[in-house]
Amino acid sequence: MKRAVLFGAIFLFAAQQAMAVYVIILRNGARVVAKDKYQVKGPNALFVTKIGTYTSIPLSQVDVTATEKANSQGLGDAQLLAWVDAKKVEPTPTPTPPITELGHLQEGIATKVGEAALPTPTPGITFRETRYHDPQVDEAFQQGLESYHLYLYRTSQGTKPNYLFIEISVNGQPETLKALMAVAETYELLAKKAPDRLPERVELQMLNEAGKEAGVFRLSAADAAELATGKVTPENFYVQHVIF
């Protein structure tokens, strides 16, 4: 089923995800979701996280301008994206136009193509200071994670310019599997709606509460399609694709 888009701005995922929360954006690009605006106590920003944990971070780590801008839109922990139908976009010499509209995941057929679809271990899969070259694709994956209530993450360029890297902090097996689903579903949506903007690979590093690796992956669009369309369970997908 397809839902008609009547306006030029929509949410990547359901609007009900926007709750009464306050999003704190850090200078390293990470996002922390609090129940309300932080309070400044000396050099620290104090707040209660969305799950009720009282915590603090150095105020110097907070991107105050970006934080105020994000919360002024009144969207909670969702973000407004100006998706437009690619067919209605006139050719222009300006930088890359927005991605075509993204809707709910639909059934489709996508299979691996030879050995190119298989992940290959690389020791360099880690966070970099260089941002991924397409900020809207980057933002789409961020919204995919947040639709699954995964907020402790950061993104960057991967081991190659057209590889997107995502680092996610997970708490146990349920969140690990949720993270895989979030990435796979977003990747599949982009493959259908904006194949020309698709990352060649998504490199994923999961960290547990102790900061130890809980799984490293290098996924192709074909890999993601298997999980997103239900051809494989998240548990089996983890076993098949993890490359510690």
- Residue 166 pLDDT class (50, 70, 90 cuts): very high
* pLDDT at 44 exceeding the cut of 60: yes
Instruction: Give the percent of the chain with pLDDT over 70.
Output: 70
Extents of the domains making up the chain: 15-72, 110-241
More confident residue, 10 or 131: 131
Window from 13-17, 76-80, 212-216, 225-229 with minimum mean pLDDT: 13-17
Q: What is the pLDDT of residues 100-124, one digit of tens each?
A: 444 444 333 333 444 444 444 455 8
* pLDDT at 62 exceeding the cut of 70: yes
- CATH code for the structural domain at 110-241: 3.30.300
CA-to-CA dists, residue 184 to 64, 159, 204, angstroms: 32, 19, 11
Average pLDDT along the chain: 76
Which residue type sits at 233?
A: T
Which pLDDT score, from 0 to 100, does residue 75 have? 53
**Nearest CA among 193, 120, 133, 184 for reference residue 163:** 133
* pLDDT at 196 exceeding the cut of 90: yes
Phi, psi of 212, deg, nearest 5: -90, 155
Match domain 15-72 to its CATH number in 3.40.50.1580, 3.30.390.50, 3.40.50.11540, 2.30.30.100: 2.30.30.100
**Mean pLDDT value across residues 136-159:** 91
Are the CB atoms for 241 and 217 separated by under 8 Å? yes
Rg of the chain (C-alpha set): 18
**Mean pLDDT value across residues 13-41:** 73
Q: Across the beta sheet with 201-207, what order do the strands follow?
A: 153-157, 163-169, 201-207, 213-219
User: What whole-number distance in Å separates Cα of residue 8 and Cα of residue 84?
Assistant: 6
**Nearest CA among 211, 202, 207 for reference residue 170:** 207
Burial of 170 (0-12, 13-18, 19+ CB in 10 A): buried
Which pLDDT score, from 0 to 100, does residue 128 have? 93
DSSP E strands in 14-63: the ranges are: 22-25, 31-34, 39-41, 44-48, 54-58
- Write down how long the chain is: 244
Which pLDDT score, from 0 to 100, does residue 147 have? 86
Q: What is the pLDDT of residues 71-95, one digit of tens each?
A: 886 555 444 444 333 333 333 333 4
